[in-house]
Amino acid sequence: MNVVDRFLEYVRFDTQSDEETNLTPSTPGQMVFAQHLEKVLQSMGLSDITLDDNGYLMATLPSNIDRKVPTVGFIAHLDTSPDMSGHNVSPRIVEKYDGGDIILNKDKNIVLSPSEFPELSHYVGQDLIVTDGNTLLGADDKAGVAEIISAVAYLQAHPEVKHGDIRIAFNPDEEIGKGAHKFDVKHFAADWAYTMDGGEIGELEYENFNAAVARITFTGRNVHPGYAKHKMINSLRIANQFVIMLPRWETPEHTEGYEGFYHLVGMEGTVEQTVLTYIIRDHDRDRFERRKKEMEHLTRKINNEFPGVATLDIQDQYYNMREKIEPLPHIIEIAKQAMIDADVEPKVVPIRGGTDGAQLSFKGLPCPNLFAGGLNFHGRYEFVPVPSMEKATDVIVQIARIVAERG
């Protein structure tokens, strides 16, 4: 079975995570997928296979050399985003993409077009795996899962490629920010690791956003609107006032690169009570802290005008892993060399998001992020070029080889 066959099998598992269940894994489909993968790893003859009650699956490909070298890990996540359905994923392969529009769903007039997604032009002539327009695809991160298992299978079939102990892990709930919460770093016992959870071919990421979630609750007072003068406190209107007080251009749709933002992700309310939910993001830790202070400042301004109406709760989610990775430059250098050896041009870019690797780095497992090959994650226009998955598989093999050679 090759990486494409594995991927096409894995995306059919419904593994959307759910932030509301407060369970680990947050949905039963993730455990079903983990149990399937456990059987796959057993059939491959890997050692130290463990699947805990929280859905964390780990295993070892034993070293085939007679000297001690660092133990390297490779990690991917089981879940897909709750942003769009992952039920009954029906992928298809567009062979030798010709550069034009790809009709995903004729009946619903859903088209993957280079006029809207110009990155398609980078993959003319390649086989692309796309959706049927009804679901996401799941390349985030089942491409990573397929690549790791395919690389292990390659190393088993090619003993001439020398490697040390290779640890692999598949974890739940990355998409809701909890993938690393119950990850047992000590049990994993790797010197460092790579998450296979990046996007386009060549991406190498060791910087990510500092992240927090903010919830502002506005408590109003409802009175019959015909008799409401000087009595009604409309929480919906006050919440709207708060929204427009934040910088207009510091939102996801107006930022790129290292630019941070405030992102309104939820608004629920009535006259009596309204709750705004924001995510706060910035690569720079000082700017990140200032963004949280700005939220506090605006809440005070609201309460000065409407005493006691607004309450703010801010919770940090994760931090920029750069501070944990930069002191270990060999981890990045090895990944760059592995890409070059696999005939892939390394592209060091900041992650405009988060990754399990960020939290794992702060838990003592340095963990940059490598490309898995997919694009347009979390929606119906998601696709993955087949050669990108094949190259990602080769990069894993090359990393294992380089670590063994350098000791």
Say if residues 310 and 216 touch (Cβ distance below 8 Å): yes
d(CA 85, CA 161): 40
List the catalytic residue out of 38, 147, 174, 382.
174
* One domain, residues 267 and 132: no
For the full predicted model, state whether its pTM sits above 0.85.
yes
Q: Which residue range forms the structural domain that includes residue 260? A: 210-318
Say if residues 55 and 179 touch (Cβ distance below 8 Å): no
- The question of whether 343 is a catalytic residue gets the answer no
CATH for 95 = 3.40.630.10
Show Cβ contacts of residue 380 under 8 Å, excluding neighbours closer than 6 positions. 84, 104, 110, 131, 133, 134, 135, 136
* One domain, residues 49 and 131: yes
Please give the full DSSP string across 22-89, using - where no structure is assigned.
--SSSSHHHHHHHHHHHHHHHHTT-EEEEE-TTS-EEEEE---SSS----EEEEEE--B-TTS--TT-
> Which amino acid would we find at residue 191?
D
* One domain, residues 311 and 195: no
Q: Say how many domains are in the chain.
A: 2
Q: What is the dihedral of CA 322, 326, 328, 330, to 10 degrees?
A: 110
List the catalytic residue out of 79, 147, 173, 197.
79
d(CA 55, CA 156): 26
- The question of whether 286 is a catalytic residue gets the answer no
pLDDT tens, N- to C-terminus, the chain (407 residues): 999 999 999 999 999 999 899 999 999 999 999 999 999 999 999 999 999 999 999 999 999 999 999 999 999 999 999 999 999 999 999 999 999 999 999 999 999 999 999 999 999 999 999 999 999 999 999 999 999 999 999 999 999 999 999 999 999 999 998 999 999 999 999 999 999 999 999 999 999 999 999 999 999 999 999 999 999 999 999 999 999 999 999 999 999 999 999 999 999 999 999 999 999 999 999 999 999 999 999 999 999 999 999 999 999 988 999 999 999 999 999 999 999 999 999 999 898 887 889 999 999 999 999 999 999 999 999 999 999 999 999 999 999 999 999 98
CATH for 222 = 3.30.70.360
d(CA 112, CA 79): 24
For residue 405, give the 3-state DSSP assignment.
helix
